[in-house]
Amino acid sequence: MNKAELIERIVNALIDPWTDDPEDYLYATPIDRYGAVDLIAQIRDDEESCELEPEECLPEEATPELVMEAFNCLIRARKYEARVARLAEWITDNECVCEYVNYYDDWGFLPTDFLDDDYMQYFAPEGKRFYAKDILRIGMNSVNTFSFADEYCWLDKEKMQLHSTSHPFRDGILDAEGFARHILLDVESFDYMFNDIIDEDDAHYILGCTKEAYLNED
């Protein structure tokens, strides 16, 4: 059994797949070798009391060093997933459309209030221009998909049809989870969101700690 296989077996012994929830790891702290020795003893006791089959148990080759490595990797991975989920929820609740367009994916979203003859050119294919007949065609195609009462709009260029919504994240049009992952992995996006947009209390809730503690994590 190679190291990767051992780590996988150790992780399987550490978790209950039916109850494993990233939220449960958000406040967990890494263990050292002594903590790993105690953890191994606890796992062995649990295995004995549950009368598990050998293939269900922690491998005999699992050293304290490997258990420490596996456990600490596990909590880092689960913390990341919990933070992604909380940040995605915050993004959805606060409809961070401008931030999404500026820092993640500008695929043609526009505030509906900006919509006029000049801004219609924003939707035109690169190097081309929409003329009156094109705008008229778009308007006729968009009777049932666009409303000036909505806050944001975008153009389906294949169907030449405007769509609109006031809740692009909640409606699943913009990818809150993908944006959240990007923020947590991109220094510039993280700095902007957590220093200029998200207040201190919300940041603490999302990260499970202060911004300073998060940036100093291993």
pLDDT digits (tens, 9 = 90+) for 48-90: 888 877 877 888 889 999 999 999 999 999 999 999 999 999 9
**Contacts with 105 (C-beta within 8 Å, 6 or more apart), sequence order:** 174, 175, 178, 179
DSSP string covering 155-216: EETTTTEEEEES-TTTTTSS-HHHHHHHHHH-HHHHHHIIIIIS-HHHHHHHHSS-HHHHHT
Q: What integer best gives the mean pLDDT of the chain?
A: 90
Q: Which range is least confidently modeled, 79-83, 95-99, 107-111, 212-216?
A: 107-111
Exposed e or buried b for every residue in 166-199, given b needs 16+ CB within 10 A?
eebbeeeebbbeebbbbbbeeeebbebbbeebbe
The more confident residue out of 159 and 126 is 159
| Confidence bin at 22 (pLDDT 50/70/90) | very high
Q: Which residue has the higher pLDDT, 189 or 107?
A: 189
Mean pLDDT of 202-211: 96
Q: Please give the residue that has the higher pLDDT: either 181 or 109.
A: 181
- CA quadruple 116, 122, 123, 125: dihedral, nearest 10: 140
Highest-pLDDT range among 98-107, 156-165, 184-193: 184-193
Please spell the DSSP secondary structure of 84-102, one letter per residue: HHHHHHHHHHHT-HHHHHH
Q: For 111, which DSSP code? A: E
| Domain ranges (residues) in the chain | 3-79, 110-165
Sheet with 161-165, side-by-side order of all strands: 110-111, 152-156, 161-165
Quick one: pLDDT at residue 117?
Answer: 58
Q: Which 8-state DSSP code applies to residue 108?
A: S
